[in-house]
Amino acid sequence: MNITIAGTGYVGLVTGVCLAELGHQVICSDIQEEKIAMLQSGRSPIYEPGVEDLLEKNVACGRLHFTTNSQYAYGNAEIIFIAVGTPEQQDGTANLAYVREVAHSIAQFMKNDVIVCTKSTVPVGTNDQISEIIHRHKPANLHAEVVANPEFLREGSAVVDFFYGDRIVIGTDCSKAAAIIEQIYLPLDIPIIKTDLKSAEMIKYAANAFLATKISFINEIAMICEKVGANIEEVTNGIGKDQRIGPYFLQAGIGYGGSCFPKDTKALVQLAGNNQHSFDLLKAVIEVNNRQASLPVSKAKEVIGSLKSKKVTLLGLSFKPNTDDVRQAASLSIIKELLKEGAIITAFDPIAMSNALQVLGNTIEYTQDIRHALLHADVAIIATEWEEIKQIPLDFFELYMKKPIVIDGRNCYSLKEIRKHRITYISIGRPIVT
């Protein structure tokens, strides 16, 4: 199959390299010249485990190409995946400008019949709009079919998720188009769910909203655990064994971040509102999540009082481990609050420091040396559960900090181990250790 992917962000790039690995001829297109030049030389603009190896291999064997030329990208494609961004607008709705632009370009440059497959997360009804744009502008003798094919790739494990996902959703009212898209994924041995267009669009939002709800739910339970003296780890273990609940996505902490959950939950609230329904449950999920990110600073203030001129070590900047992405990361809200309090911040992150620098500039100090980060610190705050942070020898906190006070927003350490040290340790939903 000749496949083109429009947009080489996380989703587009991972989809492109993985489809090439399955043996398809793939062209990845993007409007950013610099990004395409980098990809052409076999280097990935994002840190995503596994991507660079597949990139190098598939470029070398001639199955994977990169271009900024839309005519070349859409001219000979049989299948075009739309994977451009749908960034959040001020009112919480998704900005569909890039999606519409791609639809126009496809109509303008297509030279044969195509199936247009939307991977971008788009509000219900958007694929109908895409179809309408293409049909209005395409050559009359050519045929185009639109399919909703949402992605369920997690940053940091996107390649594994592509090859071993739980399901593939193909949404279209055209059974011929569904059968062709099914063929593409057949080597993967992943259950395929075929739906109508709108249900496929809804599946994506409902999945992300449900996962976000699980996180806010467990964070509420953690809050009550703190108040009554229970331990959230024991509680999640106890409820997670119930197969109807399951053990996943019940990690209490300072909340969800990233480019998906915060944006998609707000967009679903908007979508509901635009259709005369107030999605109160999801509104509460969002509120709880906003509160979680403010916990480390309030907890720090409870222990040491004013943070003015206090040295704070921030461990972890990315929104979760194994990614360099800092979009909507809890660390950013924490830093903003700390700066407002007058604290002096030194941050450590194994991968995300250069992305953080672009957002935060020199308002904080960055270091790759954990010992330096902790040196003479009044308090350490853990914002991301990187393995490098989980593996910090606990006596480092005692040795290097002024007074070892650790606020752990991701419950990285076992209380049993912590109790062997002289550390004041405050985590989420677990008893305080002093």
Chain positions contacting ligand UGA, by CB under 6 A: 121, 151-155, 208, 211, 215, 249-251, 253, 255-258, 260-261, 319-320
Consult the annotation and say whether 416 binds a ligand: no
- Give the contacts of 430 (CB within 8 A, at least 6 positions apart): 225, 226, 231, 232, 233, 411, 415
| Shortest spacing between CB 382 and ligand UGA, in angstroms | 12
| Shortest spacing between CB 127 and ligand UGA, in angstroms | 17
Residues in the chain: 434
- What is the token pair recorded at 57? 């291999």
The secondary structure of 380-424 as a DSSP string is EEE-S--HHHHTS-THHHHHHSSS-EEEETT--S-HHHHTTS--E
Between 366 and 386, name the residue whose CB sits nearer to ligand UGA.
386
Consult the annotation and say whether 50 binds a ligand: no
Identify the three-state secondary structure at position 345: strand
Question: How far are the Cα atoms of 112, 179, 186, 340, 410 from residue 192, in angstroms, in the given order?
Answer: 27, 11, 9, 50, 35
379-382/405-408 β-pairing: parallel
Is 260 in the active site?
yes
Rounded Cα gap, residues 79 and 12, in angstroms: 14
Question: How far are the Cα atoms of 30, 83, 151 from residue 346, in angstroms, in the given order?
Answer: 36, 36, 36
Between 172 and 251, name the residue whose CB sits nearer to ligand UGA.
251
Query: Could you tell me how far CA 89 lies from the centroid of its own chain?
Result: 18
Residue 168's nearest CA partner among 198, 146, 148 is: 148
Rounded Cα gap, residues 286 and 237, in angstroms: 25
Give φ, ψ of 334 to 5 degrees: -60, -45
Q: Where are the alpha helices (DSSP H) in 86-145?
A: 97-109, 126-137
Cβ contact 234:308 at 8 Å:
no
Residue 150's nearest CA partner among 107, 200, 188 is: 200
**Cα 344–Cα 345–Cα 350 angle in degrees, nearest 5:** 165
**Cα 410–Cα 12–Cα 19 angle in degrees, nearest 5:** 110
Q: Which of 18, 28, 117, 260 is catalytic?
A: 260
Consult the annotation and say whether 396 binds a ligand: no
Consult the annotation and say whether 310 binds a ligand: no
Consult the annotation and say whether 121 binds a ligand: yes
Between 45 and 253, name the residue whose CB sits nearer to ligand UGA.
253
Consult the annotation and say whether 422 binds a ligand: no
Rounded Cα gap, residues 153 and 184, in angstroms: 17
Consult the annotation and say whether 204 binds a ligand: yes
| Shortest spacing between CB 429 and ligand UGA, in angstroms | 12
Between 94 and 110, name the residue whose CB sits nearer to ligand UGA.
94
Between 234 and 395, name the residue whose CB sits nearer to ligand UGA.
234
| Shortest spacing between CB 250 and ligand UGA, in angstroms | 6
Between 29 and 121, name the residue whose CB sits nearer to ligand UGA.
121
Consult the annotation and say whether 250 binds a ligand: yes
Between 13 and 215, name the residue whose CB sits nearer to ligand UGA.
215
Consult the annotation and say whether 212 binds a ligand: no
Q: Cα Rg for the chain, rounded, in angstroms?
A: 24
Q: Which residues are annotated as a binding site?
A: 30, 35, 86, 121, 152-155, 204, 249-253, 257, 263, 320, 327
Residues with a catalytic annotation lie at 260
Binding site members for NAD(+)? 30, 35, 86, 121, 155, 263, 327
